[in-house]
Structure 1
């Protein structure tokens, strides 16, 4: 696609073009981080001219912001669809993080390269996690989780539990003796999650 072609992309094709670019960008940022990522590489993977990327996203920072937000929006759509049962929620996100390794790697690269500057789309992302905290509050109100636990504290703990195998798979394998992608590890970790959530149930 030439620069002239890029300037004449119809509205419907424009949406598809952006989606293809964002998909390629997530892969590039996951592999190389924000600093190491190259617009040329994203354009090559998406099969578009890099001028189209600059037209849509201005620069690499804008592209990373849009790519990360697209992944969060993808997950945000599932918040109201997942079950209220906390064990099933944890199992869902544990397996989702194993499935979507690029999303996990993008978050790791963001953490490694952040030097104290404001986070990208911080208010929007805080709202995303607040929805999950509200789900925990709902579980507490329905008696599924003891209300003696602070829901924000629980959110931090649960986030660590569902991200650990995907972010540090080598440690999970050394400790458990199983590759995190194996059926044995998934069954073992789901049993661990179920046991932990039982401890959080209200006392008689």
Structure 2
């Protein structure tokens, strides 16, 4: 259930020296808090302490804990999509473009385990926050178009088969990369191979690149 303060305590705070910086600090603190503890375990008091901000400011800028959680998710999606756009896949030959996308997915998740935890938590809550988020949908659409354009170029060059669905391909790449990090510790324990080692990750990278490109061949 959404938690918000009473209307009479939500008045415009005074003496805000840098409102944009304060808001950004609160959002960063929220992302850290929710990544560690999830929506249910995360606390607004703790977020305010992390941000070194008055608790009143948290509610003033974001309205409720649920809305802050939604904003944290949107910011996480926005970050990864912004970096994906910087890959400039259109400037690369189709095979290299696909390889770079896989490399990026692996590297990003290796360095941002908080993104994995936040997505897992949102799925546990039925994706109710991103389902109603225009911002999340808008950040994902350009990525699918980049993949679709890369597929079209590969089809034209005769190196990719016809009719590959861009969304299905993205889900496949995301699944192979996401699962590796989301379940790496349990798989390492079960199969007796330390998948956290750089050599293991490099080997897995080569494997999924080969698997993806083989699946795209005519």
TM-score normalised by the shorter chain: which range applies?
A: 0.7 to 0.9
1:106 aligns with 2:113: no
Query: Whole-Å Cα distance in 2 between the matches of residues 87 and 185 of structure 1?
Result: 18
Q: Which residue of 2 aligns with 1:95?
A: 107
Query: SS of the counterpart of 2:200?
Result: helix
Q: Which residue of 2 aligns with 1:69?
A: 74
- Aligned runs of 1:1-204 on 2, under 5 Å? 6-10=13-17, 13-84=18-89, 85-114=97-126, 117=128, 119-143=130-154, 145-173=160-188, 174-175=190-191, 177-180=193-196, 182-203=197-218
Q: 1:145 to 1:135 in 2, by over 3 A?
A: farther
Q: TM-score, normalised by structure 2?
A: 0.80
Moved over 4 A (4+): 3-6
Query: SS of the counterpart of 2:130?
Result: coil
Deviation at 1:127, TM superposition (A): 3.2
Q: TM-score, normalised by structure 1?
A: 0.85
List gaps (5 residues or longer) in structure 1. none
List gaps (5 residues or longer) in structure 2. 1-9, 90-96
Query: SS of the counterpart of 1:119?
Result: helix
After alignment, is 48-57 or 149-158 more displaced?
149-158
Deviations 1:2-32 (A, max 9, x none): x99942213xx21111111111111111111
Query: Whole-Å Cα distance in 2 between the matches of residues 8 and 100 of structure 1?
Result: 35
Query: SS of the counterpart of 1:77?
Result: helix
Q: Provide the aligned C-alpha RMSD in A.
A: 2.4
